[in-house]
Chain A
């Protein structure tokens, strides 16, 4: 009997054949995701036995989860930290550097103003500034996670990115509101 090297418990990086790092080759991720789904997707098993159909759904679900986790930088960083046994304390640790909080408040005010003035241009500009800030934070994450292995610092950045993600969601709903 051959050993079962692949199982549903393995980590997402192994599942998608990528090195467990923050900086990943996103083209390769996509390519591996697609070739895996081509093998395990339920559409390939619908005429087969019940056991095979059930397995196929479990696998395809797991592959989707892995892809979702690794594709998004915030999810990927959080997941890497979990693999290293580090809790990002996103709910418990709300202590943030003053300058970051000031910036958040500024952005929230701008968001409210943009909403009240029904000014799409303001929202678009904010979105771009935020994307720039997120990119900057991700570059720092790459250093902390892949080079210096400073997981405490990385957790701090994850918490900041979480703030930005929430704000981005609010900008998204503001766009929707202005569009109705």
Chain B
């Protein structure tokens, strides 16, 4: 265990080892992994020197799984078992995925999230994403020569709670400790802003393979503050391909294609789209399964006309974001272009026209998100204090509760800074009512049926009272990953009713455990070994954190007895850390966490005080 270098009590802690952390851009079309090496953020290549991993997974009947280029080569040959653009299905049900009929998959309608039937069994989009993440994790561990402490995984800023939760579950399934879910445009802003020492208000226009985000950020003295975000989590390069595909069907008079032909023509459509970036026209030539020849010309003008309303949709979202930020076009200092789809000339042109300035294209639109995520991962892993910059992000969509008549009562409005919490009180409407059902939704519309259902649960055990006299306090907490947790309690009686949030989507811990077991040959051994390593890593980090804290503030904030108590908890943990039972280590970690709670509180108070030292109340009046 190379990472267990723990200073003896009383000795100064050795300069801590560089912790291996990466940023992962889990894209619709392509995925990348990056890390900070010698202070510079770099994308990690695979053994063939390739940085980009196509987000394509093929499941074979013999149980083998292929990810990336190998899978991509087989997408037309084996369309049912080769999953492309799985990100579009994350946290989505059958009814959310519009053009299901045009996609060459065998969908399985499952509660919450759809699934895909493959030669290797039914797969959830979470499992498919996990298979992509596993390859990136292995690449990183091979390249960096050690186990990862964790990763920052990027998500579209406009991803809702279900999509974020699904992404986090996928990482868990891939054995990755998620340091943070980071919004893609924000990641790009970090990479761009730090690189260019940018100051002022910037827009990040991020059009990827399957998602569109627009974020407005204020960059000032190392603070990246997201003012507003908007977008469409089902609008990207794939839709442009699809328009070409539909155009080809129409022109060639084709209908009801096989899965093979559909995938073949979609692939040709994508190539044609890319060709039109540099050429005025392109030829689409393909031989279908039945021997029919498709051979036709597509001009830029035709392509622009058939995709115009897609571009318009991005501009509408952009104007909404500006309005939410209460800013005019003239307030925007620069527009940073991110995502491979921003290479399309009509997109560049439209964005330039809206903002009345030439968009900034000086960063590689494919890599900038991963590079920014790596910078954030480096800070979160504790390799750098990060004192010199700070990220303040927002929640993209309003969170609310269902009230009488199927209407939504907004509890946390969109563009609220995270972490965020809000409590709302509700009351009973019948005498003696002892239970109340709570329905959590996300979205901007007034009707529950137009918003995304996140969770439904029942608060039971309300003492019988006259209608209207119970006070049920429902608390929403959104953490720094943008993920929501909900709790409820009845205030008048003081009854703390226990509630379990049953997600309408996503996976339970049991399901993840089952998938983990199924996914490995020697499931149990692997899992135990992994759990042990994770627990040891966590314990080592905790010991280091507490040791540093004691050295900094121990004497100032704690009496001798308390210090001794913490020291003895540390000793107890050190004794078991190299053992082979992760449960024992876990118990000691919990004990040390408990012993340091008060200390943590005091240290926090101290840093809050120091933050405002210098401007005292009296001076301000």
Contact = CB atoms under 8 A, between A and B. Distances in A.
A47 to B, nearest CB: 3
A104 interface: no
A59 B610 CA distance: 15
B480 interface: yes
B599 to A, nearest CB: 8
B420 A64 contact: yes
B319 interface: yes
B593 A34 contact: no
A65 B420 contact: yes
Which of under 10, 10 to 19, 20 to 34, or 35 or more describes the interface residues of B? 35 or more
A15 to B, nearest CB: 9
Interface in A144-180: 172, 175-176, 179-180
Interface string B568-596: 00000000000000000000000011101
A118 to B, nearest CB: 15
Given A42-B479, A47-B541, A68-B416, A52 B604 contact: yes
Contacts of B620: 17-19, 25, 28
A91 B418 CA distance: 28
A43 B160 CA distance: 21
B382 A40 contact: no
B611 A55 contact: no
B139 interface: no
B608 A52 contact: no
B417 A67 contact: yes
Contact of B605 (A6, A14, A35): A6
A82 interface: no
Contacts, number: 139
A121 to B, nearest CB: 16
Contacts of A57: 419, 477, 479-480
Interface residues of A, number: 46
A161 to B, nearest CB: 16
A98 interface: no
B612 interface: yes
Given A5-B609, A49-B545, A56 B319 contact: no
Main secondary structure of the interface of A (DSSP, over half): helix
B180 A46 contact: yes
A64 B607 contact: no
Given A1-B559, A6-B605, A34-B223, A60 B480 contact: yes
Given A64-B419, A175-B323, A46 B380 contact: yes
B600 A52 contact: yes
A19 B609 contact: no
A176 B414 CA distance: 15
B391 interface: yes
B12 interface: no
A68 B478 CA distance: 15
A65 B609 CA distance: 18
B416 A47 contact: no
A32 to B, nearest CB: 6
B612 A35 contact: yes
A38 interface: yes
Interface of B: 19, 179-180, 223, 225, 316, 319-320, 323, 376, 379-382, 386-387, 390-392, 416-422, 477, 479-480, 541-542, 545-546, 549, 557, 559, 592-594, 596-597, 599-605, 607-612, 615-617, 620-621
